[in-house]
Amino acid sequence: MAVTTHVNTRGHTSRFTTHTSVGLTYIIANATRCQRVVDSLPWPAIGSISSGLIAVGFLAYVWPYRREPGATLFMGVIGAIVLWTLSYGAALFVFDPTLRFLFEIPIWIGISCTSLLFFAFALEYTGRKDAVRSRWMAGIVAVVGIFLILIATNPLHELIWNDYRIEPRFGVAAVAHGNEPWLFVFMLILMLLTAGAILVLVDTFASYGPLYRYQTLAVAISPLPVIPGILLWLFQVGPVPQLNLAPLLFPLHLGLDMYAFFRRNMFELTPADRRAGDQTAIDDLGIGVLIVDTEERIINANEQAATIFDRSKRTLLGSPLHAVDDEISLSASDQRITRSSGHRQREYTVTVSPITDSADNEVGHTVTLSDITAERQREQRLSVLNRVLRHNLRNDLNVASGYLDMVAEQTDNDDHQRMLATASRNTNGVLELGEKARTVERTLETERLGTEPIELDPLVERVATDLVEKHGGSVDRRIPERMHLETNRQLLESVLSNLVENGLEHGGAEPTVTVTATTDNATARIEVRDTGPGIPEHELRVIEQGEETDLEHGSGIGLWLIEWGTTALGGTVRYESSESGTVATVELPDVVGDVSTNSAGGPVDASLQSEGRR
């Protein structure tokens, strides 16, 4: 029994060993056969041609966008990839060395144009079209052309490579040769062009925000998958140094381009439009603009700035700011400079603003120069006119008014009395006009006057008392007790005084003016209602249009003082005129302080009745 078991065991062991041996032989045979298939299958050529066909298909989709900024050059890049990959794929089937070398010419044209056109595309796509058409770009094209000529004529001089020979690999005509230094120089130039394009696109990615971020980043990194294949071939390292694997890697390159094109609308929203818009906006501002970096070098400027400094824009760029104008300081405020323009002196205000990047790091400054020559001249003229009205004219009119009163007291002729009274009224009117001119000047100095908390009711009471005493009539006040406004006292008093005075002057035989104040959150609403015939429509139209003409003008400056004063206070005024009178509503936002109201939440009534005296 034991023997039988032993014999059976040996029999099974023998059969197992036999089967194992057969299986291993079968696997080794199949592996050898697969290796022969792989070695005979021209997969490098198939991969290269497939890359070219993918590029051709992509080119068809890009074609409708050929008129967009950078699209033509982008299509040129894809076309160069097509030339490179299809030429290389076809060359791998050619085993004759002489004929095989002829394929090197379109291959290298494709390699060169891929880098060169990609660099030009990056410049134009990001709004640097002038650089694409510059002399130094023409110089780069010339250098690339010279190297292509050297490649085409290499058998005569062997400056690019030597010992050119066919070494079949994987069923294709792979090529081996010794690389000369000039080949490395040429490849370095092409690599630098590619790196320059990447830097330009990355700069756009960092500078222009999320609108262009993803498509520019995708296109910027698209060459990176191809570069390892080129470096392995150039330095002849790796398992198959005779093959340039870059054409097989182009689907990765094209995949990133397709993402930018199909998913991110790369030619519907282009950085070139943004860059052109920025520069156009700077040029069309009507003021001088300088942009300086952290070293205070001028890196951008508009034509207006070049005109101000009497230099060309080209000579401004790159110049230190202090060399252009040593009066401008990036740390000072309220700066003014004077420059000569022809035979005239012009004055400019200088405003300096910091420029920060997306990480809030200061990367430079914007310097703007606004021509205030005309404004300063207007201020000076207004100041002179006010001085003349306030001093010279007032003094002379006061003398004339005194003489008129003296003559009126000494004559009994009724006609003479009427004429003297008219002359006296007109003289006093001109004196009042001079006082209002002083108010105009104060209106222009609002920023110097500042604000303070003002209790509205006592202010209106004082204004009303003076005006009722002067013009007669009555003034009703309907203002909440202890209603405070945080605003400019002189301007508010000027606005209310002119509104009340207008109502009393034009309110008929017994003029009545009602002043009502209400609040809405932090907004004060003041209504001044009179019983007069209403403000003439043409006078309101003049105020609404903002200017007077020979055909349409107001009868005085009272309405203008109301308009200017309300605007200076940050508010608005509107008028509603009818046969029963005029309602002027002044709204002042963000001025309401403490407000006390009655139990119903409405305004507390108060009134002032005063008989006028002459």
Q: Per residue in 378-415, pLDDT tens? A: 777 766 666 666 666 677 777 887 888 888 888 888 88
Query: Span 423-436, mean pLDDT?
Result: 72
* CB 122 within 8 Å of CB 197: yes
Q: What is the pLDDT of residue 182?
A: 95
What is the C-alpha separation between 311 and 318, in angstroms, rounded?
13
Predicted confidence at residue 428, as pLDDT, reads 75
Q: What is the pLDDT of residue 595?
A: 46
CA distances from 223 to 193, 231, 291 (A): 11, 13, 33
To the nearest whole number, what is the mean pLDDT of the chain?
80
State pLDDT tens for residues 445-496.
555 567 899 999 999 999 999 999 888 899 999 999 889 999 988 889 989 9
Mean pLDDT to the nearest integer, 347-376? 81
Q: Higher pLDDT residue, 531 or 425? A: 531
User: Percent of the chain at pLDDT above 70?
Assistant: 76
CA 369 distance to own-chain centroid: 18
Q: For residue 567, what pLDDT is reported? A: 85
Residue 476 Cα distances to 336, 485, 532, angstroms: 50, 20, 15
- When pLDDT is cut at 50, 70 and 90, the band that residue 547 belongs to is low
Helix (H) or strand (E) holding 204: helix 181-207
Mean pLDDT of 259-272: 66
- pLDDT, average across residues 239-243: 89
Phi-psi region of 574 (alpha: psi -120 to 50; beta: other; left: phi over 0): beta
| Mean pLDDT of all residues in 301-310 | 85
How far apart are alpha carbons 519 and 596 in whole angstroms? Answer: 11
Give the confidence band of 561 by pLDDT, cuts at 50, 70, 90.
Answer: confident
Range ranked top by mean pLDDT from 13-22, 58-67, 101-110, 426-435: 101-110
Q: Is the per-residue pLDDT at 57 higher than 60?
A: yes
- The pLDDT of 254-275, averaged and rounded, is 69
User: What was the pLDDT predicted at 235?
Assistant: 92
pLDDT beyond 50 at 533 = yes
Contact 443, 565 (CB under 8 A): yes
Give residue 70's pLDDT.
79
**Which token pair is 264?**
């991110």
Instruction: Please write the tens of the pLDDT for every residue from 105-127.
Output: 999 999 999 999 999 988 888 77
Report whether 474 contacts 508 (CB < 8 A). Answer: no
Q: Where are the beta strands (DSSP E) in 504-614?
A: 512-520, 523-529, 572-578, 581-588, 606-608
- Who has greater pLDDT, 540 or 496? 496
**Alpha-carbon distances of 535 from 108, 529, 566, 581, 586, rounded to whole Å:** 85, 12, 18, 8, 16
Q: How confident is the model at residue 342 (pLDDT cuts 50, 70, 90)?
A: low
pLDDT at 277 over 70: no
Average pLDDT over residues 273-291: 64
Provide the percentage of residues in the chain whose pLDDT is more than 90. 34
Q: Is it the case that residue 553 has pLDDT exceeding 60?
A: no
Structure token digits, residue 147 = 């190297």
- Tally the C-alpha atoms within 13 A of residue 22's C-alpha that lie toward its C-beta: 6
- Alpha-carbon distance values, 585 to 248, 462, 558 (Å): 78, 20, 15
Question: How confident is the model at residue 360, as a pLDDT?
Answer: 72
We find that the CATH architecture of domain 285-371 is: 2-Layer Sandwich (3.30)
Q: Give 310's pLDDT tier (boundaries 50, 70, 90).
A: confident
Q: Higher-confidence residue: 538 or 246?
A: 246
d(CA 112, CA 144): 7
C-alpha–C-alpha distance, residues 144 and 439, integer Å: 74
**Rounded Cα gap, residues 296 and 570, in angstroms:** 38
Tokens found for residue 286: 């009507």
| Fold designation for 43-273 | Rhopdopsin 7-helix transmembrane proteins (1.20.1070)
Cα-Cα-Cα-Cα torsion 357, 360, 219, 136, nearest 10 degrees, comes to: 20
Burial string for 468-489 (b: 16+ CB within 10 Å, else e) reads beebbbbbbbbbbeebbbebbe
Specify the pLDDT at position 34: 46
pLDDT of residue 38: 47
Lowest mean pLDDT among 479-483, 538-542, 567-571: 538-542
Contact present, 148 and 156 (Cβ < 8 Å): no
Domain boundaries, the chain: 1-40, 43-273, 285-371, 377-444, 448-608
Place 4 in a pLDDT band, splitting at 50, 70 and 90. very low
Res. 282: pLDDT tops 70:
no
Residue 5: its pLDDT value, please? 42
Picking from 5-9, 55-59, 321-325, which range would have the lowest pLDDT averaged per residue?
5-9
Least confident of 255-259, 306-310, 356-360: 356-360
The mean per-residue pLDDT over the stretch 247-262 comes to 89
User: Strand pairing of 572-578 and 298-301?
Assistant: unpaired
**205 burial level (CB within 10 Å; 0-12, 13-18, 19+):** buried
Q: What is the band of 215 on the pLDDT scale with cuts at 50, 70, 90? A: confident
State whether CATH 1.20.58.1610 applies to domain 448-608. no
